[in-house]
Chain A
Amino acid sequence: MSIFEYNGSALVAMVGKNCFAIASDRRLGVQLQTIATDFQKIYQIHDRLFLGLSGLGTDAQTLYQRLVFRHKLYQLREERDMKPETFASLVSALLYEKRFGPYFCQPVIAGLGDEDKPFICTMDSIGAKELAKDFVVAGTASESLYGACEAMFKPDMEPEELFETVSQALLSSVDRDCLSGWGGHVYVVTPTEVKERMLKGRMD
């Protein structure tokens, strides 16, 4: 079994009209046994930047703690929040440092940049950035997520429609993956507010 399949995860981020959505499943497992159904995979770095981490749970938490440390230092030095593009470069550099002994994590970064332009990005476990204009996916359910997002995505969706699309894509994909699921956790972020919702999904 691959190391990425040890805990199981599904993450997706999608771009809408001046907004973005980032969603994850809620399962934490040890291979085929589920041990928690409320595991947090999406973290808020500052009010316009979210980070999702898929892959090995322990590496995800360690990496998140390191990134929060670096971001807090940045805030103290620069007296402002990090832009999403800068944060993505930071994550990429931190992962590439460990090129020959990597963290088993695939991050998904989503944020609102200058002029409220949504920014999404994903990386492989050694920091190769993929900047997409529509959607990014990560986790054990990523193959199904690619298919579902490719079919359901439309450009310039309003926040409510974006929420529906992301939720349907996530739920249909995790239904086809044994290692992820047990509900969903969706954040829809616009320049003025953040809406966090838990989804009802199949509990198997």
Chain B
Amino acid sequence: MSKAEIDFPPKGGFSFDLCKRNEMLIKKGVQPPSYRKTGTTIVGLIFQYCGFHSTFLEMLIGCLTKNFKEGGKTEDGVILGADTRATAGTIVCDKNCEKIHYMAPNIYCCGAGTAANTEAVTDMVSSQLQLHRYHTGCESRVITALMLLKSPLFNYQGYVQAALVLGGVDVTGPHLHTIYPHGLTDTLPFATMGSGSLAAMTVFESKYREGLTRDEGIQLVTEAICSGIFNDLGSGSNVDVCVITKGHKDYLRNHLLPNPRSYISPKGFLFPKKTGIDKFFGY
């Protein structure tokens, strides 16, 4: 093996040269490290609101032209939500992390599972989508992102543990998909993933209906995430929401802060007896 190969692995990707050493250490009784997980609540829902103007005349015009949407106001899109706690074992290592990752201007992805995996996989697909946009000159489609995400996850047979909720609005309309670590995907009107998924799903199952407005959708997503935050130990802190509609997106970072730190002592800590210093170098 040449020296250059040791320092720069060929063409990027994973390098396995420390595996033999690590296996030897495990055989000698050393425990492998625990990775930072985003034990999480992530949710998504599609809202499709079709409202009509209340005047009878406009409704009549709508009926006559056989296009109800012309007389009314439609709003449809995808709302994604996530909590903001990252854990390493049982310790909270980040109280306000970002779990809603950017994929394309019209596509966002929430990630649960091992934090490094979700970040790496979403960054990789985001750059592939950008190259694809340069190549084709068109807005990215959500199913493109879906295929680009599920193929490597399947190829790695679930070892890259990333569970994702992918949502976006493209020319064909709003789409919401879930992607499991082994590469299985689902297309759904509302979805939840992560350790808090059961808590959030109870809220969705009881309150979701077709024809939600944007504000009702945001309210429902916030409620579902809060249910995960307060009932699941792996989720906590704040609620992040991302609303994607045709040609527009609203990333509401820290949309709700239901866990403020209200017990800070106003005096703070004072150290009147200075710390003992052995040596001092100033430069």
Contacts and interface: CB of A to CB of B under 8 A. Distances in A.
A125 B280 CA distance: 32
Given A103-B18, A198-B278, A125 B33 contact: yes
B246 interface: no
Given A124-B116, A142-B91, A130 B7 contact: no
Contact of A168 (B12, B17, B31, B269): B269
B56 interface: no
Contacts of A183: 278
B32 interface: yes
A3 B268 contact: no
Given A124-B116, A128-B35, A98 B30 contact: no
Interface string A140-154: 001100100001101
B92 to A, nearest CB: 8
Nearest to B119: A128
Given A3-B30, A3-B31, A102-B33, A199 B277 contact: yes
B86 A100 contact: no
Nearest to B261: A150
Contacts of B134: none
A197 B280 CA distance: 5
A165 B268 CA distance: 11
A126 B280 contact: no
Nearest to A167: B275
B30 A1 contact: yes
Contact of B280 (A69, A165, A195): A195
Interface residues of B, number: 49
B32 to A, nearest CB: 7
A168 B275 contact: yes
Contacts of A151: 269
Contact of B281 (A69, A95, A146, A197): A197
Contact of B30 (A6, A165, A199): A6
Could you say which interface size class chain A belongs to? Answer: 35 or more
A197 B277 contact: yes
A9 B120 CA distance: 27
Given A66-B7, A125-B35, A198-B277, A164 B271 contact: yes
Contact of A98 (B18, B20, B93, B277): B18
A2 interface: yes
B33 A104 contact: yes
Nearest to B6: A66
Interface in B16-39: 16-22, 25, 29-33, 35-36
B55 to A, nearest CB: 52
Contact of A196 (B30, B91, B115, B281): B281
B19 A199 contact: no
Nearest to A134: B95
Contacts of A1: 29-31
Contact of A124 (B9, B88, B278): B88
Contacts of B94: 130, 132
A66 B31 CA distance: 25
A172 to B, nearest CB: 11
Given A124-B115, A152-B269, A164 B274 contact: yes
B282 interface: yes
B71 to A, nearest CB: 49
A200 interface: yes
Contacts of A200: 275-278
23 contacts: A95-B116, A96-B120, A97-B12, A98-B16, A99-B116, A99-B160, A101-B20, A125-B33, A125-B35, A128-B119, A129-B119, A130-B36, A146-B91, A152-B268, A152-B269, A154-B268, A163-B275, A165-B271, A193-B283, A195-B282, A196-B281, A199-B278, A200-B278
Given A3-B25, A99-B120, A124-B115, 11 more contacts: A95-B116, A96-B116, A100-B14, A101-B20, A130-B36, A154-B268, A164-B275, A168-B271, A183-B278, A200-B275, A201-B276
